[in-house]
Copies of this chain bind each other. A is one copy, B any other.
Amino acid sequence: MIEQPYHHGKLREALLERAMETIEEAGVDGLSLRQLARDVNVSHGAPAKHFRDKQALIDAMALAGFESMNRLILDAAQSDSDLRSRFVRVGKAYVGFAVAHPALLTVMYSTKHHPDSSTELRSTGEQGIHIAQGMITEAQNAGALAAGDPETLAMVCFVSLHGAALLAAGKHLEGTTVDAVVAATTDTLWAGMAAGVPAAQLEQAGQLGEAAGHS
Binding site for B on A (CB under 8 A): 27, 29, 64, 67-68, 71-72, 75-76, 84-85, 88-89, 92-93, 96-97, 99-102, 109-112, 125, 151-153, 155-156, 158-167, 170-173, 175-176, 179-181, 183-197, 201-202, 204-206, 208-215
Complex-state Cα separation, A29 to B192, whole angstroms: 40
Cross-chain contact B201 with A197 (CB below 8 angstroms): no
- Residue on B with the closest CB to A27? B112
Q: Which residues of B contact A164 (CB under 8 A)?
A: 159-160, 163
Cross-chain contact B170 with A211 (CB below 8 angstroms): no
Cross-chain contact B192 with A189 (CB below 8 angstroms): yes
- Evaluate whether A197 and B208 lie within 8 angstroms (CB atoms) in the complex, with A159-B181, A164-B163 already known: no
- Evaluate whether A206 and B179 lie within 8 angstroms (CB atoms) in the complex, with A96-B211, A96-B212 already known: yes
Cross-chain contact B212 with A100 (CB below 8 angstroms): yes
- Residue on B with the closest CB to A172? B109
Q: Which residues of B contact A210 (CB under 8 A)?
A: 92, 96, 179
Complex-state Cα separation, A162 to B186, whole angstroms: 15
Cross-chain contact B170 with A155 (CB below 8 angstroms): no
Known contacts A153-B188, A155-B184, A188-B193; can you find 20 more A-B pairs with CB under 8 A? A27-B112, A29-B112, A75-B211, A85-B204, A85-B208, A97-B212, A109-B167, A110-B170, A111-B171, A125-B172, A152-B176, A153-B184, A156-B188, A159-B173, A160-B164, A186-B205, A189-B192, A190-B192, A191-B193, A191-B195
Cross-chain contact A100 with B162 (CB below 8 angstroms): no
Among candidates B76, B84, B189, residue contacting A189 with C-beta atoms closer than 8 Å: B189
Complex-state Cα separation, A164 to B158, whole angstroms: 9
Cross-chain contact A152 with B181 (CB below 8 angstroms): yes
Cross-chain contact A72 with B163 (CB below 8 angstroms): no
Cross-chain contact B205 with A68 (CB below 8 angstroms): no
- Evaluate whether A211 and B76 lie within 8 angstroms (CB atoms) in the complex, with A173-B155, A189-B188 already known: yes
